[in-house]
Structure formats: structure tokens, C-alpha cells
Amino acid sequence: MSNTPTMTLHSDTDSTSCSNSESVERNSLNSLIEGKDTSFAGDCTNDCAGNQCSMTCSDDPSQLKKRKCICFNSIGQSVWGVILIIASISGFIFPPLDVMLWEKLNMRPGFPPYDWWADPPDEVKMRAYVFNVTNHERFLQGLDSKMHVEEIGPIVYLEKLKHYNMKFNENSTLTYTAERFLIYLPDDNTIDLNQTLIVPNLAILGMSSYLHNANYFVRSGLKLLVKTHGSEFFVKKTIHEYLWHNTETILETSQHLAPGLVPSTNMGMLSRVYADFIDEITVKIGPQWGHQNFFKIDKVRGLSQISGYDPEVCPDRLTGSTEGVMYHQHLSKDDILYCLRKTVCKPMPLYFDKEITLEGVPLYRYNLSENVFNRVKNGTDCYAMDDPLPDGISDASKCFYDFPMVASYPHFYTGSPPKDTFVTGLKPDKNKHNSYVVVEPMTGIPFRAVARMQCNLRVNNLSLFFSPEYRKFSNIVVPIGWIEYNQEGLPTHVRYTIYFMVNVLPPLSILFFVATTILGFYLIMKQLFSHEMKRYILSSILNIKKQKTSNLINNGVLAYEKENFLKNDSKS
């Protein structure tokens, strides 16, 4: 018997190596023809992205599927393409800056807008200026018809604002307590607080003005008290005393006799201003109110109007004003900003002036109206007093226990009243004495703000006291001093945040969404093109394989060789 090699045509096991490229190709084509899955055939060390995977040919296909490397297959890339296009379109419709501003309306604790407001930066400086009377003796002797005053200052303090006791209400409002107080800054001061001044005796003039139309016995009693205590119409005080501890013995006696007439024995200018500077404020927040009403005051101490004013006569309301820490968003040039300052006891309107740029950020400047202290001609003037004040002066007594305090611009710089009407020595200057705020219009955050106002004592007609000394002070407005509140910028991190939001974020968002749109379309078009190419190539391979198989089966030579081989095998 000849040693003829034998082989089985239909072997159940494949003895060839997994690395045999011809076998791999043959098995792949056979699988394509027979409709079998070839996802794990071929080179087991390559995945769909060409990366290396740890798998062997002996692994079970079900196990290989579980350990298959995660990659972007055609379906995944198509899905990502659709997601990127939808996200880009949404980004164009709802820009990130608008989304951030809309979220700011909620003032959520833990987010930057709330944290910055809850603990405002120490950037507001208060500068106080006082007036020294240089001709008091000549005035009392009748040699000079008016007092001559000399300005001394500034005395610089840091005004600290604290917000606490926050309460979020169900009607989309926020109630909180706002407290303001001053901190003396020795390094910023060049004025000696022990320097003495000659100033009008505010106690005598204030009580005399308050009782100017009282009955004869009350006026006579006041004159007797003044004489008994040896009080003078001009007194010598240090600057510190004049600002914080301006007391007179006649005030203490008067308070015992008439507590309602003298609520406080301290007539210090700053002491009076900051004696009652703790307020419970309710503001509007949330999308319900929109951008235009964001953080506008709803009530102060539960009231929509300053206590003491008749709501039927006085149309002014606290509703719609702000503390000046934040204004509403998306400001326009037609908007009127109302800022509440208890020093003047009324909301103060600011009107658009011009566009400016500071530190690369486009801003709006709003100026305080120059006729804000003028008389209203339609019969609804809240701030005229019983004996009407002239233009340029506004009643502030309701915020000072009905003491005859009136507010005006410093040095009467608007010309209402003319600077020498009541005293001489004033030097009005618009650049030094006006008020304004510079606001970033998108966010409503003030970059800079300057508020200046003068405190004055209104002395009514004292002719009924029947005394030449009293008569000298009749019908005048005595300047006590004036105050400047100056927000001298913002903390660095707040400035950078606003700069990013206004200058960087909008163009960056456009570039980003354009890029994601292009990427999304690229992924989709790539898969469509790739899918068409795969269909064309696969169809070509299948057609070629089927033709070869058909030719082999129909080949007579192959049939003859097979029959001859079987015969030889049977003989052996």
C-alpha cells in the first residue's frame, strides 16, 4: 500500500493558525456568504478604532462582546452629531449670558450674585464736610447781615453695609435686614478731629423753629430755659463733637419736660443720620417679576411709603426704588433709576446721561436730576413743609423725628436757591457737588457711584419770640454740613467676572456653537458617506465571491479530480 496522504474534506475542527491571513480572509468571505457574524473574526488584537484590545481567539464570543473596547461606532457618532447640532441651535436661541442673567433672578444662596450681595464689598467711603462760621460776632452785633461760612473737610469713613435675616417669601420676594454703620479711617484723614469750630446752636434754633407758631406761654417758657441755662446762639465744638456728640444741657431739661418734643439729646450730624439706619426691606426676585423689576423694593418696614407722609397727597412710593447696591438687569437709556437714601428721606431719580467705558467694559452713566429738590407745581408736593420751601430744598423732617431738617445739593450748586441767599462763603461746583451712578447695563451692577447731599436746618419765622437775637435767624436755612458717598470701584474678582460675561462670553459662545454645529454635521455626513461606501464595497465583494463559488461548483475538472481521488483511496 502506498503512503498516500489522507485528509478529511469536512473537518469539524480547524487546525490552521489564527494568525493565518489566508484562512482569515477565506473564513470572512464564507461568513459573509452564509450570513454569519464576523464581528470577532480576523485579527483579534485590533478593535474598530485600530486600538489594542486584550482578547484571544480562544475567547468565547459572548465574553469578547462584554470586553469590547468602547469606541465611537457609526451609530454613536451619528447620535453625537445630532446632539451637538441640537445643543448649538439651543445655544443660539438661549445664549449663555441670558441663561446666567435669568438664573440670577432667583438669587439662590451659594451662587455668586447672592454671595456678593449678602456680603457687599467694603468699597464705599463716606466723606463728611462741615461749615465753620467765621463772623459770628459781627453777625450777632448786626454788622453783617448774613453768616459767612468756611468749609472744612473731608473727614473720611468707611461705610459698612450688612445684610442678614434673609427670608424667601412665597410671593417671590426676599425680606432681609439692612444695616449701615461707619468705620473711621485714620490713614485717609488729614483733618484733626479735635480742631474747634464755631457753629450755630442747633438745639436753640431747632426748638425755636419747631415752636415758632406755638402759643405765647410755650414760647416764653423756651426763652426762659435758654436764659436759665446760659445757652448761646453760637457754640464752640470740636469736629468730633459736632459730628457725633453735639449735646446741650437745655436739650436734657427739655426732654424731661416734653419727651415728645425732644426725642434725642444728641444733635451730632452723623449721629442723627445713622441713629436709625437699620431697616427691614422686602425686594422682588424671581422670573415672575422679570428683569425690569428685579431687586426693586416692595416695602420698607412693611410700608410702601415713608412713614409720616399722607398717601393721598404724596404720590411718591418706595416701591420701585433700590438700595443702590444692584439695579435691574437689561437697562436701557430710557430707564429711570430710583435710589433710596434716608439722608434725604425720599427716592432719588437718576436719568441717562452718556455711554462710557471703564476697564474695557461699556457702561451707562446716570445723573441725579438737578431739579430733584424743586417744588412740584401740581399740588402733590410731599416735601414743601407747611411754610413752603424754595426750589432746591426738600423736607427731610419725617426721617429725623420731625426735627426741621431739610436736604439740598452741596453749596446749592444748581443755583436753587442762589448760593448767597442765606449765608455767604459757599462755592458751588458741579464736578464736586453733583451725584451720579455708572452701571453695567446687562447685569445692573454699579461700577461707580457718587451721592452727595447737604444737611440743613430750616429756621422758620421767629418774629413772635419778640427778640432781636431770634429775629436775626428768622426765615433762613442754616447749612450744617454735607456728605459724599463714593463707591470707588469693585473688587477685582467681581470686575473680572463682569468683564468675562460682557466682553468674552458672547463672542466665545458664538465661536463654540459654530464649531459644535460644524462638528455635528461632519459626524453625520461622515457616517452617511461611510455607510454608502460600505454598502457598495460589501455588495461588490459578495457578488465576486458568489461568482467564484458558482464557477467552482460548475467546473467539470473539479468533479473529475474528486471522483478520481475517491477511487484511488478506495483501492488503497
Domain ranges of the chain: 23-71, 122-490
Q: Do residues 51 and 69 lie in contact, with contact meaning Cβ atoms separated by under 8 Å? A: yes
Q: What is the SS3 assignment for 423?
A: strand
DSSP 168: E
Q: What is the SS3 assignment for 454?
A: strand
Query: What gap in Å lies between CA 524 and CA 551, rounded to an integer?
Result: 41
Query: What gap in Å lies between CA 212 and CA 473, rounded to an integer?
Result: 12
Q: Which helix (H) or strand (E) holds 391?
A: none
> Is the link from the previous residue into 417 a cis peptide, with omega within 30 of 0?
yes
DSSP track, 500-513: IIIIIHHHHHHHHH
Angle at 344 between CA 343 and CA 349, to 5 degrees: 125
3-state helix, strand, coil in the chain (%, to 5): 35, 25, 40
DSSP track, 254-281: HHHH-TTT-S-SB--HHHHHTTT-EEEE
Q: What are the 10-residue block averages of pLDDT along the chain, 572 residues in total?
A: 43 42 45 43 42 46 47 69 82 82 90 87 90 95 94 95 93 94 94 95 90 88 89 94 91 80 83 89 93 92 84 83 91 94 88 93 95 83 84 90 90 92 95 95 93 94 90 93 91 87 87 85 77 62 64 58 64 58
Query: What gap in Å lies between CA 270 and CA 481, rounded to an integer?
Result: 10
Tell whether the torsion through CA atoms of 98, 100, 104 and 106 is positive or negative. Answer: positive
Q: What is the pLDDT of residue 264?
A: 79
- What is the distance in angstroms between the CA of the first residue and the CA of the last residue of the chain? 6
Q: What is the pLDDT of residue 72?
A: 55
Q: What is the pTM of this model?
A: 0.77
Q: Do residues 123 and 492 lie in contact, with contact meaning Cβ atoms separated by under 8 Å? A: no
177 beta partners = 164, 280
Query: What gap in Å lies between CA 130 and CA 454, rounded to an integer?
Result: 10
Q: What is the pLDDT of residue 135?
A: 95
Residues 6+ apart with CB under 8 A from 487: 123, 124, 446, 448, 449, 450
Neighbouring CB atoms inside 10 A of 475's CB total 15
Find where cell 453768616 sits. Answer: 147
Q: What is the pLDDT of residue 35?
A: 44
Number of helical H runs and strand E runs in the chain: 16, 16
How do beta strands 361-368 and 436-440 pair? antiparallel
Neighbouring CB atoms inside 10 A of 451's CB total 23
Q: Do residues 376 and 389 lie in contact, with contact meaning Cβ atoms separated by under 8 Å? A: no
Q: What is the 3-state secondary structure (H, E, C) of 179-235?
A: EEEEEECHHHCCCCCCCEEEEECHHHHHHHHHCCCCCHHHHHHHHHHHHHCCCCCEE
Closest CA to 207 of 253, 141, 276: 253
Q: What is the 3-state secondary structure (H, E, C) of 75-101?
A: HHHHHHHHHHHHHHHHHHHCCHHHHHH
C-alpha distances (whole Å) from 228 to each of 194, 233, 261, 568 are 29, 14, 19, 154
